[in-house]
Amino acid sequence: MRSVVLIALVGCHAAEGGARGTEGERVPPPRPEACQVVRPGDSLQAAVDSGAPVLCLEPGRHAGPVKIDRTVEVWGPRDAVIASAKGTTVLITGGGAKLVGVTVDGTGGSFDLLDAAVKVTGKDITVEGVTVINAVYGVLAEKSARVRIAGNHVHGDAETAMGLRGDTIRLWETHDSVVEDNDVEDGRDVVVWYSSRNRITGNRIVRGRYGAHFMYSHDNIVQRNELRGGVVGIFSMYSRGLQIDHNVIVDAGGPAGMGIGLKESGNIVVEHNALVHDAVGIYIDTSPLQLGDTLVIRDNVLRLDQAAFVFHSSAHRITIADNDLADNVMQVRVDGGGTAVDVDWTGNYFDDYTGYDLDGDGRGDVPYELRSASADLVSNHAQLALFRGTPALQLVDAAAHLDPLFQPPLVLRDSQPRMTPRQEVR
């Protein structure tokens, strides 16, 4: 069942990234027609300082570190390796500079200095088609603008504990930039902090902690990314104006696992995403935060999750419309003894809906109402959370459903539930 769902949803939502070869690898940009050749053993720093507008690195190892502090394109094939064992390997500060196609191997282990394979500080800088290996941090952009990080392959360290890895891609006080079509594996986080008006699109991010972590970052777009096997897919903290659409988030697991998390954020739109086999599909904590802000969640598919929606407490000023909720252990959970009755639930499909459609308009003639005796019990006795998903609490719900004298509190009400799921995932 799960494999069928994944094939259907990933096929419809998967990242529409840049050109790939026959084995799925990103195809690096072609060699420039006119360039100054840099051979292994030549001083790369001297070549950068020479004033040539384009440098072409020949295959082999080129000694780093190197600082690119002017407008120059440094190009190489994948087997042209810039290597360093200490500090940041490639530092780019020159406006309009480009690092293209090469492999960057190795950085030091200083977390406090943010040693990186590639560090960017400037404007209109491009890092494209670069492979990063053996690095504490991958590609970092700090206090920059109009940066393009595209088509790179960043390898983390799968053997190191998750919390001790470095971030694979990091934007810090970086604005109006693009992170697109990258392959990211086995790192810690893709971070967007204090950074606004950026586009995170078409990336494949697997086996990390946070697939994309936004903090104090406003008006960003996150779309058509594929996030697999991490702890958290996309998480927004203290951010506003975030657009999250057409992403696939699969196998976000563990005690803290969730597909999308929203904490004290507002004016967020979450639409056309597929959240499959996650511990929690969408987690909402005090969002929207500010009066006048909204949260809209529509046209998403939530399948095979332990819980499709989890609210930290009672929720307000939220619209949840036209989503598909099916094959989940629990559709909605509200912690802290709260409810989601003030949420505007409209036109969602619930596979446990038992109503009817006599007029044939595709909408249920009676509302979908969720009442959960087990959730109410856990809210009042937190120690019972250990038994979520077990037959013991399932029997509590079954008994409450059969006993007409006992009616658990109402959790949510959708006045126009859809009778069938959508035939296609947009």
Q: pLDDT tens digits for 186-217?
A: 999 999 999 999 999 999 999 999 999 999 99
pLDDT top residue among 123 and 26? 123
Task: Tally the C-alpha atoms within 13 A of residue 13's C-alpha that lie toward its C-beta.
Answer: 30
Please check whether residue 205 is in contact with residue 235, taking contact to mean a CB–CB distance below 8 angstroms: no
b/e per residue 51-67 (b: at least 16 CB within 10 A): ebebbbbeeeebbbbbb
Please check whether residue 412 is in contact with residue 370, taking contact to mean a CB–CB distance below 8 angstroms: yes
> Is 83 inside a domain boundary?
no
pLDDT tens across 241-277, in order? 999 999 999 999 998 999 999 999 999 999 999 999 9
Question: How high is the pLDDT of residue 4?
Answer: 45
> Is 380 inside a domain boundary?
yes
Question: How high is the pLDDT of residue 374?
Answer: 57
Q: Binning pLDDT at 50, 70 and 90, where does residue 3 land?
A: very low
Q: Binning pLDDT at 50, 70 and 90, where does residue 7 land?
A: very low
> Is 213 inside a domain boundary?
yes
Please check whether residue 328 is in contact with residue 281, taking contact to mean a CB–CB distance below 8 angstroms: yes
> Is 375 inside a domain boundary?
yes
Task: Tally the C-alpha atoms within 13 A of residue 120's C-alpha that lie toward its C-beta.
Answer: 30
Question: How high is the pLDDT of residue 115?
Answer: 86
Q: Binning pLDDT at 50, 70 and 90, where does residue 383 land?
A: low
Q: Kindly tell me if the per-residue pLDDT of 401 is higher than 50.
A: yes
Q: Could you tell me which of 158, 155, 117 has the C-alpha nearest to residue 139?
A: 117
Mean pLDDT over each residue of the chain, to the nearest integer: 88
Question: How high is the pLDDT of residue 196?
Answer: 98
> Is 372 inside a domain boundary?
yes
Q: Kindly tell me if the per-residue pLDDT of 353 is higher than 90.
A: yes
Task: Tally the C-alpha atoms within 13 A of residue 165's C-alpha that lie toward its C-beta.
Answer: 25
> Is 11 inside a domain boundary?
yes
Q: Kindly tell me if the per-residue pLDDT of 18 is higher than 50.
A: yes
Q: Binning pLDDT at 50, 70 and 90, where does residue 371 land?
A: confident
Query: Cβ contacts of residue 354 below 8 Å, gap of 6+?
Result: none
Q: Binning pLDDT at 50, 70 and 90, where does residue 389 land?
A: low
Please check whether residue 227 is in contact with residue 246, taking contact to mean a CB–CB distance below 8 angstroms: no
Q: Percent of the chain beyond pLDDT 70?
A: 84
Question: How high is the pLDDT of residue 164?
Answer: 84
Domains in the chain: how many in total? 1
Q: Which domain, by its residues, includes 342?
A: 2-32+108-127+161-414
Distance CA 364, CA 412 (A): 15
> Is 323 inside a domain boundary?
yes
Q: Kindly tell me if the per-residue pLDDT of 93 is higher than 80.
A: yes
Question: How high is the pLDDT of residue 343?
Answer: 95
Question: How high is the pLDDT of residue 210?
Answer: 96
Token look-up 């990063």 returns: 132
Question: How high is the pLDDT of residue 426?
Answer: 44
Question: How high is the pLDDT of residue 408?
Answer: 72
Q: Which two tokens stand for residue 85?
A: 């064992």
Q: Binning pLDDT at 50, 70 and 90, where does residue 29 land?
A: confident
Question: How high is the pLDDT of residue 425?
Answer: 44
Please check whether residue 261 is in contact with residue 286, taking contact to mean a CB–CB distance below 8 angstroms: no
Please check whether residue 366 is in contact with residue 340, taking contact to mean a CB–CB distance below 8 angstroms: no
Q: Kindly tell me if the per-residue pLDDT of 70 is higher than 90.
A: yes
Q: Binning pLDDT at 50, 70 and 90, where does residue 14 land?
A: very low
CA 106 to chain centre: 26
> Is 374 inside a domain boundary?
yes
pLDDT tens across 265-322, in order? 999 999 999 999 999 999 999 999 999 999 999 999 999 999 999 999 888 999 999 9
Beta bridge partners of 196: none
Average pLDDT of the segment spanning 100-106: 95
Q: Could you tell me which of 255, 249, 242 has the C-alpha nearest to residue 304?
A: 249
pLDDT top residue among 368 and 164? 368
Question: How high is the pLDDT of residue 406?
Answer: 59
pLDDT tens across 124-147, in order? 999 999 999 999 899 999 999 999
User: Which stretch, 105-109, 241-245, 314-318, 422-426, has highest mean pLDDT?
Assistant: 241-245
pTM for the predicted model, two decimal places: 0.89
Q: Kindly tell me if the per-residue pLDDT of 119 is higher than 50.
A: yes
Distances (CA, A) of 99 to 115, 139, 143, 145, 192: 18, 11, 18, 16, 21
Question: How high is the pLDDT of residue 140?
Answer: 97
